[in-house]
Amino acid sequence: MKIFFHFSVIGFSNTYLIGNDEGDAILIDPGHMDLQLLELIESNHYYIRHILLTHRHPSHTAGIGTLSKIYDFDIYSYSPFGELTTAYHPLPENHEFELSGIKINTLHVPGHSSDSIVYIIDKAMFTGDVLLSGRVGETDSKLSHSLLMRSIKDKLLPLDDRMIMFPGHGAPSTLKIESMFNEDLLHEMRVHTHEVSE
Amino acid sequence: MFDFTFCKEPSCHDYVVSGTDTCLFHSKDREELSADFTHRLEKHETIGSYSISGLEMRKKDISGSKLYACNLSHSEFIDVDFSNSYLQLCFLQFSTFIRCKFKGIVSKYSVFSGSKFIDCDFTESDILHSNFVGIDAKNCIFDDSDLYYTDFVNAILEDVSFKDCNLKKADFVASKRVNVSFKFSNFEEATFSRES
């Protein structure tokens, strides 16, 4: 399995290309389809068989239309993606499945959006906008922020901290780094400690 | 990517050295593996998908190295010259760098988090989408560098110079900065506060 990183200046988002030895590939969050992404796919002799979406925000999905004119793929996400004729597969929580010989696990981690899902492939986790390097994803209300923090604490932090993290925006990281230095997680912990001590 | 297999030694949590079944610490061929890897770097060989964490390197010139998707975490580099090297998707977290030269490096999607940097020089480098979260840097220079989308969240920066740098989308939230200069840099395009 090989993992490639692509950054799109439109939406400032990361797209991940994951390929197997037979030339079949998975794209995670194609936020924009540009020449660089096409060159990345083609120069490595991959054919896009599957697209995984961490959530349905445009900066993570806008490249699907153009990609569908080039490749014939299935789309996987937590909530329906109905605008296209492409085959769509809804993913349940804690679901283990295999695509092109690559084992994938899902974790539903709502808060940034109600349909946010984290994909775990081997010792790599693709967190979309749930968990970023040093920060957590943006939320539109106190309730959503609270839900996001609780979801991260309950579902992501108990995982193996050697897990490598590939976020939807910004630099890669590891779960250990985030548990030690993520300012939003540390801030939440400080607030909680302060409340308990009072 | 490098091999995600862990060391066969019970209770060891480290990744194996690529092509072996133990981590560097538990390897019987520790010195040979380290020397071989260093020699490959000195020869400017392009190295991809290789893991060798816990490396110790002193007084080496590995300038012009090319590393792709490699894991060199928990390592110690003293008086090592990385100048003009290319690092893409490399993991060097929780390492120590003392008097290392990184002049003119290109670092993309690479991770240096939790590392200690003392007297290091990163001038004229392209350090893009890289992770310096939680680093402890003292007397370091990043002048004339492009730090686009690079994170310094919770970093401790003392006597560090970021003169004439591109700081667009750089994140310095919760960093402790003592005698840090951003002269001629676009610091207004960086983030310094959680609320912004």
Q: What structural domains and CATH numbers belong to chain A? A: 2-197 (3.60.15.10)
Q: pLDDT tens, A88-128?
A: 888 988 899 999 999 999 999 999 999 999 999 999 999 99
Q: How far is CA B97 from the centre of its chain?
A: 8
Provide the pLDDT for residue A79: 81
Q: How far B150 CA sits from the closest chain A CA (Å)?
A: 7
Phi, psi at B19, each rounded to 5°: 85, 0
Nearest to B153 among A1, A7, A181 (CB): A181
Q: Which fold has domain B30-189?
A: Pectate Lyase C-like (2.160.20)
Q: CA dist A178 to A131, B21, B39, B157, Å? A: 8, 28, 33, 19
Residues whose CB falls within 8 Å of the CB of residue A28, separated by 6 or more in sequence, listed in order: A15, A16, A18, A51, A52, A53, A54, A119, A126, A166
Cα–Cα distance, A76 to A65 (Å, whole number): 15
pLDDT score at A82:
61
Phi, psi of A57 (to 5 degrees): -70, 145
pLDDT score of A85 more than 70: no
C-alpha B162: how far from chain center: 17
Q: CB of A130 within 8 A of CB of A112?
A: yes
pLDDT tens per residue across all 196 residues of chain B = 777 788 999 889 889 999 999 999 999 999 999 999 999 999 988 999 999 999 999 999 999 999 999 999 999 999 999 999 999 999 999 999 999 999 999 999 999 999 999 999 999 999 999 999 999 999 999 999 999 999 999 999 999 999 999 999 999 999 999 999 999 999 999 999 977 5
Q: Mean of the pLDDT values across residues A173-198?
A: 86
Quick check: B174 contacting A, CB < 8 Å?
yes
Count of Cβ atoms closer than 10 Å to residue A113 Cβ: 24
Best A7, A21, A183 residue to mutate vs chain B (most B CBs within 10 Å) = A183
pLDDT of residue B152: 98
Question: Which of B186, B191, B185 lies closest to B143 in space, CA to CA?
Answer: B185
pLDDT band at A181 (very low <50, low <70, confident <90, very high): very high
Q: A102 CA to chain B: closest CA distance, Å?
A: 14
Model confidence pLDDT, tens digit, residues A19-61: 999 999 999 999 999 999 999 999 999 999 999 999 989 899 9
What are the angstrom distances between the C-alpha of B76 and each of A33, A60, B65, B92?
A: 40, 38, 17, 10
